C-alpha cells in the first residue's frame, strides 16, 4: 500500500466518523429543543425591542452603544473627567509615602523633554 492510498483511506474514515458524530449531535439537539418548556417572560424595558440608532459605521460599536443606551447604567456616572465616581463608592485615599502615589504624582516634564531632545537628535531635527 502506498502512502497516498493510506492518506486517502484515513480521510474517508475520518469523514464517515465526523458525519456519524454530527448526525448524533443533531438528533440530540433536536430532542432537547422539543423537551424544553417555553416560559412566558413578563415585558420589561430590557425585553422590549428598541429601535437601534446608527452612531458610527462599525456595526459592533453600534451594537455596544445601543446596548449601553438601553441599559441606562451610564446615568449613574457623575463628573466629566477620567476620575468618574459611581454611586455608592468613595475614592480611596493613598498616603504621600506610598511608592505608587509618588510614581503617579511625579513631575515627568524633565524626562519628556530629555526624550524629545534624544528623539530629535536621532532624526536630525534641531531645536
Average pLDDT of every residue of the chain: 76
pLDDT of residue 29: 78
- Cell for 98? 506610598
Q: Examine the pLDDT at 10 and tell me if it is beyond 70.
A: yes
Q: Which is nearest to 104 in space by CA: 122, 127, 82, 120?
A: 82
Task: Give the pLDDT confidence of 11-58 residue by residue, as tens digits.
Answer: 899 888 888 888 888 887 777 766 655 555 555 555 556 677 888 888
Q: At a CB cut-off of 8 Å and minimum separation 6, what does 126 contact? A: 120
Q: How does pLDDT run across 49-103, given as a tens digit for each residue?
A: 667 788 888 888 888 888 877 777 767 666 555 555 555 666 666 677 888 888 8
Per-residue model confidence (pLDDT) at position 113:
92
Amino acid at each position: 500500500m502506498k502512502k497516498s492510498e493510506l492518506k486517502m483511506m484515513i480521510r474517508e474514515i475520518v469523514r464517515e466518523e465526523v458525519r456519524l458524530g454530527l448526525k448524533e449531535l443533531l438528533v440530540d439537539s433536536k430532542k432537547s429543543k422539543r423537551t424544553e418548556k417555553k416560559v412566558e417572560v413578563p415585558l420589561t424595558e430590557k425585553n422590549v425591542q428598541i429601535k437601534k440608532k446608527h452612531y458610527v459605521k462599525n456595526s459592533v460599536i453600534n451594537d455596544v452603544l445601543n446596548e449601553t443606551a438601553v441599559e441606562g447604567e451610564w446615568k449613574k456616572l457623575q463628573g466629566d473627567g477620567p476620575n468618574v465616581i459611581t454611586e455608592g463608592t468613595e475614592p480611596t485615599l493613598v498616603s504621600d509615602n506610598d511608592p505608587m502615589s509618588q510614581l503617579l504624582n511625579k513631575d515627568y516634564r524633565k524626562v519628556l523633554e530629555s526624550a524629545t531632545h534624544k528623539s530629535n537628535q536621532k532624526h536630525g531635527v534641531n531645536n
